[in-house]
Chain A
Amino acid sequence: MADVTAPPLREFPIPPKVEPDAMAASKPYVAPEKIQEAIGFPGQLVENWHEKAIGRMGELLRDYRSLRVYLDSCVHCGACSDKCHYYLGTGDPKNMPVARQDLMRGVYRRHFTVAGKLFPKLVGAKELTKEVLDDWYKYYNQCSECRRCSVFCPYGIDTAEVTMAAKEILDSVGYGQKYSNEIIGKVHKIGNNLGLPGPALEDTLLGLEEDTKEETGCDVRFPLDQKGAEVLLVTPSADFFAEPHVESLIGYAKVFHAAGVSWTLSSHASEAGNFGLFIGNYDQMRKIALRIREAALELGVKRIIVGECGHAWRVAYSFWNTLAGIGAGGDDKFSVELQSQLDMRYRQPTHICEYTWDLIEKGALTFDKEKNDHRVVTFHDSCNVARASRMGDTPGGQFEIPRNIIKAVANNYVEMRPGTTREATFCCGGGGGLLTDELLDLRVKGALPRMESLREVADGGGVNFMATICAICKAQFTKILPYYGFNRSMVGGVHQLVSAAIRLGDKH
């Protein structure tokens, strides 16, 4: 592994100088044959990769308007060039969103446009050589698909769409990324990203019941596969045992307990995460989402609630209705089957923060806010929640609702600098399937902009806790905070704060 170094915090947030090839050595492990083949991709780089790659690209151009329009429309204005945290942290020009797109746009021009066929040099058209393919592998694996660039592009060009297409093409020629593809294999085989089998999950949950009983004196339950429960909770599997994730799981359980609502987890769908999104593969994304549909039908639940996870919430909120008929409005057989079981008076699916906030607004929950008085809290908006989903009924609810919850359960709240929060939030540096050790240097550098604004509120506002609602953000920050001189336990979930302050009463 390359040396891992954190860049110095910048005094003024001006973009770094262009430093070609600064990150040319950064790349994740290539997926070995077994992992590739387990999810239907060729085991290794196929012989006719060039022909296959161009072919797959043509299919994607036919099936995805985003890709087609985005590859045509960029005017090279550079508005996005200083918006990517990986560029800001590394200075590598290929980490500028527009340059990242150009890695594919060059090939697109060469093979799919008149101008590129006639005047390749003039319009920057490039043949897909092995070097270019390697560049794809390196630099599309330096994009966390955070969509920050799409906020600022005058045409909304979303580099994440291009990155996903590139990963799909790479997978289709047998040049997949180990970390993401291994995880997808585990979901299919075992039901969750961490490969935690049913019995182990049951043990873990029993342990949590005991711990929570000890802490609170209340019989807070963590049910698994309970048929006829009102609510199916689908949460990232990291919530089952990783720190600080598990603290939020305890928080959700306490909320359900205090509300007196029966709920259950599912061993078949013990994962909210959906790495099919990261690799841009519709089939995989759909297959993973279908597990949740199957679990809901099997258990006969009325509501589906999703735990704290950014990309999972994007897939749930934006795509589940499309992929698995979880949502309203569909009048086809496939959708109606589920709708007739779910209670459609509720939003399907619901985010756990929407659920908790509804209860708070109704006055159904009470808190001892001073239990969080040792904390000065700030909130890190996770990209996929901020820029690819919503909560509540109005645009921007995804910003207000988690903040409202924090303010309802804690007394000290400080906001980070505008331009680094809400829709302009900076990625934690570990999203999009990059949360793997061999990319640690990239992850540390990509966290720079977030660390700068955290440093400001830590020094200026005494902030000692950064709440977030994403399993990847939590894991990433836990790992990289020390590189910037912070304590790793500074990061935690919103429901971790809820958990600390919620009053359970004597309901047993």
Chain B
Amino acid sequence: MNAAGIVFAVVFYAAAAVFILGLGYRIRLYAGTPAPLKIPTTPAPTTNSGVALRLVRETVFFESLFKASLWTWLFGWAFHAALFLVVLRHTRYFIEPLPGVLAFIQPFGIYAGFVMALGLAGLWARRFLVDRVRYISTPSDHLMLALLIAIGLSGLGMKYLVATDVVMVKAFFTGLYTFSIQPLPSDPLLFVHLGLVAALMIIFPYSKLLHGPGLYFSPTRNQADDPRERRHIAAWAARMESER
């Protein structure tokens, strides 16, 4: 146990709590809010399996964004796909023994780090270069990109510039499961990386990062186009009928 280990253990317990509780609260709020009318953007699937497929296409390919803007799609999709690989690569710090698939993608995870940074840079460039996007950008939009880029660069830094003791890092994180606090290597870059990741987890449920869960609760995307075949009515609206 060292000081860094104690500080970061506290930080990550707190961040995980905020992340899980905050996100859970938000998702319950979405799920509990009625959608009183059928408003899928048509042409829309007429069955629930069709809807599931539509959501998979939106998640995996960013289908609507592809139709909207090739540049945004290119940078955005590259960033998310890379982020996904990077997250998968990070499982090696959390799971022992590592399942085959996760072991297999490890090398791709490294290249993904670069793609992620490039994708983010492209998205950021749009915020300066395209007058429409400049107009709608708030400081938090810039900060969010800065935060993610900083996470990516500090991570790459540990891979290529100042290596850290990954065995210790793994022992630290797996230790957290059993509330046994292990020491962390005293590398400034690691502190930056971990600090920013914790910040991201805390910000997540209170920011536009809610777009992840948001997609699955978006009535224009998650409703089947069957209003003539099935009666769809919210509880608060059905009450009006008994009042008649």
A113-B206, A322-B36, A327-B227 are known contacts. Are A388 and B68 too (CB-CB below 8 A)?
Answer: no
Q: Is A123 an interface residue (CB 8 A)?
A: yes
- A395 touching B228 by the CB < 8 A rule? no
- A147 touching B136 by the CB < 8 A rule? no
Complex interface residues of chain A between 304 and 348 (CB less than 8 A to chain B) = 317-319, 321-322, 325, 327-330, 332, 334-335, 347-348
From B37, B45, B137, B231, give the contact of A395 (CB < 8 A).
Answer: B45
Complex interface residues of chain A between 41 and 91 (CB less than 8 A to chain B) = 61-66, 68-70, 72-83
Q: Is A93 an interface residue (CB 8 A)?
A: yes
> From A93, which residue of chain B is reached at the shortest CB distance?
B135
Q: Is A389 an interface residue (CB 8 A)?
A: yes
Residues in chain B near residue A78, CB distance under 8 A: 69, 72, 126, 130, 132-133, 136
Chain B interface size range = 35 or more
A332 to B241, CA, bound (A): 10
A66 to B62, CA, bound (A): 20
Complex interface residues of chain B between 10 and 41 (CB less than 8 A to chain A) = 26, 29-30, 33-39, 41
Residues in chain A near residue B207, CB distance under 8 A: 115, 123
- B44 touching A395 by the CB < 8 A rule? yes
From B38, B43, B123, B229, give the contact of A396 (CB < 8 A).
Answer: B43
| Binary contact readout A376-413 vs B (1 if CB under 8 angstroms, 0 otherwise) | 00000000001111100011101100000000000000
A32-40, A150-158, A217-225, A267-275: which lies at the interface: A150-158
From B43, B123, B136, give the contact of A102 (CB < 8 A).
Answer: B136
- A322 touching B42 by the CB < 8 A rule? no
Q: Is A417 an interface residue (CB 8 A)?
A: no
| Binary contact readout B58-70 vs A (1 if CB under 8 angstroms, 0 otherwise) | 1000101101110
A330 to B238, CA, bound (A): 12
B153-161, B191-199, B211-219: which lies at the interface: B211-219
A152-B67, A321-B232, A322-B231 are known contacts. Are A282 and B225 too (CB-CB below 8 A)?
Answer: no
Q: Is A30 an interface residue (CB 8 A)?
A: no
Chain A interface size range = 35 or more
Q: How many A-B residue pairs have CB under 8 A?
A: 227
- B37 touching A318 by the CB < 8 A rule? yes
Q: Is B139 an interface residue (CB 8 A)?
A: yes
- B69 touching A327 by the CB < 8 A rule? no
From B126, B131, B139, B230, give the contact of A329 (CB < 8 A).
Answer: B230
Q: Is B221 an interface residue (CB 8 A)?
A: yes
Q: Is A96 an interface residue (CB 8 A)?
A: yes
> From A17, which residue of chain B is reached at the shortest CB distance?
B131
Q: Is A365 an interface residue (CB 8 A)?
A: no
| Binary contact readout A133-163 vs B (1 if CB under 8 angstroms, 0 otherwise) | 0000000000000010011111111100100
From A73, A99, A150, A154, give the contact of B208 (CB < 8 A).
Answer: A73
- A398 touching B132 by the CB < 8 A rule? no
Query: Separation in Å of the A255 CB from the closest CB of chain B?
Result: 21
From B44, B135, B236, give the contact of A18 (CB < 8 A).
Answer: B135
Residues in chain A near residue B29, CB distance under 8 A: 68
From A96, A102, A155, give the contact of B214 (CB < 8 A).
Answer: A155
- B42 touching A389 by the CB < 8 A rule? yes
- A423 touching B43 by the CB < 8 A rule? yes
From B36, B227, B228, give the contact of A63 (CB < 8 A).
Answer: B36
A36 to B238, CA, bound (A): 26
A325 to B230, CA, bound (A): 10
Query: Separation in Å of the B73 CB from the closest CB of chain A?
Result: 8
From B39, B132, B140, give the contact of A158 (CB < 8 A).
Answer: B39
From A72, A119, A334, A398, give the contact of B210 (CB < 8 A).
Answer: A72
Q: Is B143 an interface residue (CB 8 A)?
A: yes
- B68 touching A152 by the CB < 8 A rule? yes
- B64 touching A152 by the CB < 8 A rule? yes
A17 to B214, CA, bound (A): 31
Query: Separation in Å of the A156 CB from the closest CB of chain B?
Result: 4
A63-B236, A156-B218, A329-B230 are known contacts. Are A18 and B137 too (CB-CB below 8 A)?
Answer: no
Query: Separation in Å of the B166 CB from the closest CB of chain A?
Result: 32
> From B46, which residue of chain A is reached at the shortest CB distance?
A395
Q: Is A25 an interface residue (CB 8 A)?
A: no
Q: Is B87 an interface residue (CB 8 A)?
A: no
A15-B132, A69-B218 are known contacts. Are A79 and B225 too (CB-CB below 8 A)?
Answer: no
Query: Separation in Å of the B76 CB from the closest CB of chain A?
Result: 7
A18-B135, A76-B136 are known contacts. Are A155 and B221 too (CB-CB below 8 A)?
Answer: yes
- B230 touching A328 by the CB < 8 A rule? yes
> Top 3 A-B pairs ranked by shortest CB distance?
A73-B214, A330-B231, A152-B68
A–B Cβ pairs within 8 angstroms, 23 of them: A18-B135, A65-B30, A66-B35, A66-B218, A73-B211, A75-B141, A77-B65, A78-B126, A78-B130, A79-B69, A122-B140, A122-B143, A124-B140, A155-B211, A156-B220, A286-B237, A321-B231, A321-B232, A322-B233, A327-B227, A335-B231, A398-B43, A423-B42
Write the residues of chain A forming the contact surface with B, with a CB cutoff of 8 angstroms: 15, 17-18, 61-66, 68-70, 72-83, 93, 96, 98-99, 102, 113-115, 119, 121-124, 147, 150-158, 161, 282, 286, 317-319, 321-322, 325, 327-330, 332, 334-335, 347-349, 386-390, 394-396, 398-399, 423-424
